[in-house]
Chains A and B, each alone.
Chain A
Amino acid sequence: MTRTANDRFEWLRAAAATGAVHTVRASFADRLGHWRGKRIPAEHFVEHPGHTIGFCDGMLVCDVRCDVIEDTPYTNYGTGYPDFDVRFDLARLRPVGWIDGEAYVFGDPIDHDGQPSPVSPRHVLQHVLGRLNAQRIKARVGFEFGGRFMHDPFRPALIPAGGLQPGDEIGALTRLGRGLQASEIPIMSIAGGREAGAFRLGLGVDEPMTSAEAVVVAKGAAKEIARQSGVTASFMTNQRGATQLSLLEATIELETAKPTNLNAEAIRSRLVEVRPLLQPSANAFKIGVPAVPDVDVNGSRIHIGRLTASSEADPFTVTAAVLAAISVALGSDGIAASTSPTDTLGAAATHLSGIAWPTDWLGAAFVANSIPLLLREDILHRSNVTDWEIERYWSTA
């Protein structure tokens, strides 16, 4: 039975009164899908229903290390990094299933005038879904994604090579599965990989907003449970010494207003154009162009399986970009050949800035703020001397 926002708030009120929940994670997801927010005493949260909480807006356009740059037009020292507020979506209030006494709620970043922040990936996905709805396209999305448990630094942990064995007792995975279920995350599978430390989580197909949020929460749960076990969980795409990549694979179910002849190449050619949003680091770019291996069209129903992005990508952005790409592909005649240079993150980001449809669908502000961050990531990567270079050239050059 679906529980309303009011149901969930009343649950929290009761849980706060008994002390069963003492803390609320008042949350938002940043442009890389990182779980951010403030911890609020539960009693304080229930005393102020509907209130908003302010955060420095630089954290909506920061890089993976929280660095802010002057090239993002949304905010910089020229704007003074003012606050944005988060308006919490109480329908998304859930217990934190893997830690006693905590609940979490995500919300929408809004500006001081109450308008959704145009650089918030959650808002961008809502905007894309609104347009699909206007075109009478219904979408559902599910994700499967991989990560690694590691001892610091870079030694596999918890899961043996070859994956799980029947009857394996791996406490962290047990806690992860039970914890996600308790948080109402539709966890469908937990598996190891062929390499030690590797794991994959499968989440059920659901409404896109729900599914994207589920990935943010599941990744957070994996990281927190790993720390409880004295190890680290990482979703870096291409890890040192590993042959198995950490990928975010999407299953997409679409129902269109009329029959279509959509094919995989039409989607792929559009996804190549937004590749930096699906693979947002130089490391992630090493996995190659996004794959769209399974497209099954049956009249007005489309099933797309195993559409690949990087595990480190933001699931809201990935979902928004993929659904927009599919919609654009649906509207195009034949297959549009991509001329996108795809060899480096920087070149692809520059190319992305010149394409009209991502700006049209994802918003000018979102694209205009993503580009400088992607370019900077590429510059940092290119200007950095790697261990590999030292090992290869130091004594021989």
Chain B
Amino acid sequence: MSSSKWTDLVWVDLLGRPRVVRVPSETVGNRAIRIAKSQVLAGYDSGSNEPGFVRLIPDTKTERVVDWDADRSIVFGDLQEEDGSPSPLCSRSSLRRILLVSSESGYQVLAAPELEFFVLNAETKLPIYADIQQYSIIKGTEMEPLLHQVRSGLNRMNIPIEASNPEYSGGQVEVNVEYGPALEAADRATLMRSLLGVLARKQGLAVTFMAKPWTDDAGCGLHLHHSLWHEGRNAFADEKGLSEMARHYAAGLLCRIREFSLLGSATPNAYHRRSDYTFAPTRVCWGPDNRTLAVRAIATERNSTRLEQRDAAADCNVYLALAGQIAAGLEGVREGLQPPDQVAGDAYARNDLPELPRSFLQAFELLDGSAAARSALGEETIASYLGVLQRERTVLLRSASDWERDRYLFAV
């Protein structure tokens, strides 16, 4: 452990938001913290009345000293039931359990999260610039007071950032996190979202990872890159490019992509992002490097050969999204599933392909009816997750939006 004085013990709620209990560092490891289940199930409305507690068990291997405060460190923890068993409310444990299945087969899952977000004026809550300037070095310079701190500070906190660049909307940024073991990748992405908010506030700015803040601008995606490794070799690559194992894995991803959709797109807003000709996928399909596909196969170099699933939103629970995708991929490998034909060209125009869920309600029904999800992530985990989002569903069904008022108030 470091010489920090205070430690932020982090647990993750079912929506993937990191929550903290700050404790004197010398007490970490000596005790378990009790967390009310209602907090884990809080949802966007803090509306849970669930009784009882879970215990937060620090995973001290995850310790990071806060780059801008050497007296403080951050340690992720797992949630256990009072009897010491993994809690079904712990999405970090859900991912860990699925990774155990893979490692018992001799395969390590490596993953890389690719996150998009908007940098906002904290007062106006609008992007700090309006025009699209993807990859612009000059626009990037305007954001460097923040983004340099992000790259350097997060690197020092063992969140290795490969690159940053302006994305395809005004004020939108993409940050690439280096690939690594899948649990570590989820920790990094989850912590990065939180630390970005802290660093932005220091600059008088704000950030949002909301999936689709503005109708006519690009949405914020979480692209998850997967590869399976065996004895130090990338099992997704062979001498011809993409291996047979990668094809099975892709088949698994595609087989479950519709019914697991809610794991990666957990708000009604996230489904506004799924729109044709926006670079967000809308059809169940895969193929070589192509930004209209749901699963993109990238096989240019052996070590970097991977599959990229592109449908998740940047504001999702990364652990659950990744757990669902990995479970699906491993199912494809285990069952020897064959993927559909690869799609070349404009997948948005392929009306013959199955559509990804285009609404929260549709995705909710699909996950609710998914035996595969309950089998992979656990009956109670899925039930709890749906329980949190059921409240979102209820609010959605009874809410009249500004758009509806603008459109219908005096027109009907």
Q: List the interface of chain A (C-beta within 8 A of B).
A: 22-23, 25-27, 34-41, 43-44, 53, 55-56, 59, 62, 65-67, 77-83, 85, 99, 101, 104, 112, 220, 223-224, 227
Chain B: CB-nearest residue to A48 = B162
- Asked whether B112 is an interface residue with its Cβ less than 8 Å from the other chain, the reply is no
Q: Across the interface, do A35 and B165 meet the contact criterion of CB distance under 8 Å?
A: no
Residues in A with CB closer than 8 Å to B196 are none
- For chains A and B in complex, what number of residue pairs have CB atoms within 8 angstroms? 105
Q: Across the interface, do B137 and A27 meet the contact criterion of CB distance under 8 Å?
A: yes
Residues in B with CB closer than 8 Å to A67 are 132
Given contacts A38-B176, A43-B155, A59-B134, 14 further A-B contacts (CB under 8 A): A26-B163, A34-B136, A39-B151, A39-B164, A40-B163, A44-B162, A56-B134, A66-B132, A66-B134, A79-B290, A80-B345, A81-B291, A99-B141, A101-B148
Residues in A with CB closer than 8 Å to B133 are 66
Residues in A with CB closer than 8 Å to B161 are 41, 44
- Asked whether B214 is an interface residue with its Cβ less than 8 Å from the other chain, the reply is no
Q: Across the interface, do A22 and B135 meet the contact criterion of CB distance under 8 Å?
A: no
If over half of B's interface residues share one DSSP class (helix, strand or loop), that class is named, otherwise mixed; here it is mixed
Which of B159-175 touch A at CB < 8 Å?
160-165, 168
CB distance from A68 to the nearest CB of B (A): 9
Q: Across the interface, do A38 and B165 meet the contact criterion of CB distance under 8 Å?
A: yes
- Asked whether B152 is an interface residue with its Cβ less than 8 Å from the other chain, the reply is yes
CA distance A288 to B289 in the complex (A): 43
Which of B278-298 touch A at CB < 8 Å?
279, 287-293, 298
Q: Across the interface, do A77 and B134 meet the contact criterion of CB distance under 8 Å?
A: no
Q: Across the interface, do B135 and A39 meet the contact criterion of CB distance under 8 Å?
A: no
Q: Across the interface, do B289 and A36 meet the contact criterion of CB distance under 8 Å?
A: no
Q: Across the interface, do B142 and A227 meet the contact criterion of CB distance under 8 Å?
A: yes
Residues in A with CB closer than 8 Å to B346 are 77-78, 80
Q: Across the interface, do A41 and B151 meet the contact criterion of CB distance under 8 Å?
A: yes
CA distance A44 to B138 in the complex (A): 21
CB distance from B126 to the nearest CB of A (A): 16
CA distance A80 to B289 in the complex (A): 8
Q: Across the interface, do B348 and A77 meet the contact criterion of CB distance under 8 Å?
A: yes
Query: Which listed residue, A25, A78, A83, touches B289 by the CB 8 Å rule?
Result: A83
- Asked whether B71 is an interface residue with its Cβ less than 8 Å from the other chain, the reply is no
CA distance A223 to B138 in the complex (A): 7
CB distance from A303 to the nearest CB of B (A): 34
CA distance A112 to B345 in the complex (A): 16
- Asked whether B344 is an interface residue with its Cβ less than 8 Å from the other chain, the reply is yes
Query: Which listed residue, B137, B152, B162, B289, touches A82 by the CB 8 Å rule?
Result: B289
Q: Across the interface, do B290 and A82 meet the contact criterion of CB distance under 8 Å?
A: yes
CA distance A45 to B291 in the complex (A): 26
CA distance A97 to B344 in the complex (A): 45
- Asked whether B357 is an interface residue with its Cβ less than 8 Å from the other chain, the reply is no
Query: Which listed residue, B132, B160, B347, touches A44 by the CB 8 Å rule?
Result: B160
Residues in B with CB closer than 8 Å to A112 are 289, 300
Residues in A with CB closer than 8 Å to B151 are 23, 39, 41
- Asked whether B320 is an interface residue with its Cβ less than 8 Å from the other chain, the reply is no
Q: Across the interface, do B140 and A39 meet the contact criterion of CB distance under 8 Å?
A: yes
Query: Which listed residue, A25, A43, A80, A101, touches B137 by the CB 8 Å rule?
Result: A25
- Asked whether B131 is an interface residue with its Cβ less than 8 Å from the other chain, the reply is yes
If over half of A's interface residues share one DSSP class (helix, strand or loop), that class is named, otherwise mixed; here it is mixed
Chain A: CB-nearest residue to B167 = A56
Query: Which listed residue, A27, A40, A77, A101, touches B277 by the CB 8 Å rule?
Result: A77
Q: Across the interface, do A81 and B290 meet the contact criterion of CB distance under 8 Å?
A: yes
Query: Which listed residue, B135, B168, B178, touches A38 by the CB 8 Å rule?
Result: B135
Q: Across the interface, do B165 and A39 meet the contact criterion of CB distance under 8 Å?
A: yes
Query: Which listed residue, A62, A80, A224, touches B138 by the CB 8 Å rule?
Result: A224
CA distance A81 to B278 in the complex (A): 11
CA distance A358 to B134 in the complex (A): 29
- Asked whether B147 is an interface residue with its Cβ less than 8 Å from the other chain, the reply is yes
4 closest cross-chain pairs (CB), A and B: A80-B290, A82-B289, A36-B135, A38-B163
Residues in B with CB closer than 8 Å to A40 are 162-163
Chain A: CB-nearest residue to B293 = A80
CA distance A38 to B298 in the complex (A): 20
CA distance A77 to B292 in the complex (A): 7
Which of B133, B141, B160, B291 is the most central at the interface, judged by chain A CB atoms within 10 Å of its CB? B141
CA distance A55 to B137 in the complex (A): 13
Q: Across the interface, do B344 and A65 meet the contact criterion of CB distance under 8 Å?
A: no
Residues in B with CB closer than 8 Å to A56 are 134, 168, 291
Q: Across the interface, do A79 and B345 meet the contact criterion of CB distance under 8 Å?
A: yes
Assuming A56-B291, A80-B292, A80-B347, is B148 touching A36 (CB within 8 A)? Answer: no
CB distance from B140 to the nearest CB of A (A): 6
Residues in A with CB closer than 8 Å to B142 are 227
CB distance from B153 to the nearest CB of A (A): 11
Q: Across the interface, do B162 and A37 meet the contact criterion of CB distance under 8 Å?
A: no
Residues in A with CB closer than 8 Å to B134 are 36, 56, 59, 62, 66
User: Contact mask B202-243 → A, CB, 8 Å, 1/0?
Assistant: 000000000000000000000000000000000000000000
Q: Across the interface, do A78 and B345 meet the contact criterion of CB distance under 8 Å?
A: yes
CA distance A10 to B348 in the complex (A): 47
CA distance A50 to B348 in the complex (A): 36
Which of B48-101 touch A at CB < 8 Å?
none
CA distance A23 to B279 in the complex (A): 29
CA distance A82 to B292 in the complex (A): 9
Chain B: CB-nearest residue to A83 = B289
Q: Across the interface, do A35 and B162 meet the contact criterion of CB distance under 8 Å?
A: no
CA distance A79 to B345 in the complex (A): 5
CA distance A38 to B147 in the complex (A): 12
Residues in A with CB closer than 8 Å to B291 are 56, 80-82
Supply 8 A–B pairs (Cβ within 8 Å), ascending by A. Answer: A35-B136, A38-B135, A39-B147, A40-B162, A56-B291, A79-B345, A82-B290, A224-B141
CA distance A357 to B298 in the complex (A): 38
Residues in B with CB closer than 8 Å to A37 are 135, 137, 165
CA distance A112 to B348 in the complex (A): 23
CA distance A53 to B301 in the complex (A): 12
CB distance from A108 to the nearest CB of B (A): 16
CB distance from A222 to the nearest CB of B (A): 10
Residues in B with CB closer than 8 Å to A59 are 134-135
Q: Across the interface, do B137 and A36 meet the contact criterion of CB distance under 8 Å?
A: yes
Residues in B with CB closer than 8 Å to A223 are 138
Which of A41, A67, A101, A227 is the most central at the interface, judged by chain B CB atoms within 10 Å of its CB? A41
Query: Which listed residue, B132, B155, B277, B292, touches A65 by the CB 8 Å rule?
Result: B132
Q: Across the interface, do B163 and A53 meet the contact criterion of CB distance under 8 Å?
A: yes
Residues in A with CB closer than 8 Å to B176 are 38
CB distance from A312 to the nearest CB of B (A): 14
Chain A: CB-nearest residue to B279 = A81
CA distance A249 to B76 in the complex (A): 60
User: Contact mask B335-363 → A, CB, 8 Å, 1/0?
Assistant: 00000000011111100000000000000
Residues in B with CB closer than 8 Å to A82 are 288-291
Chain B: CB-nearest residue to A217 = B137
Which of B343-400 touch A at CB < 8 Å?
344-349
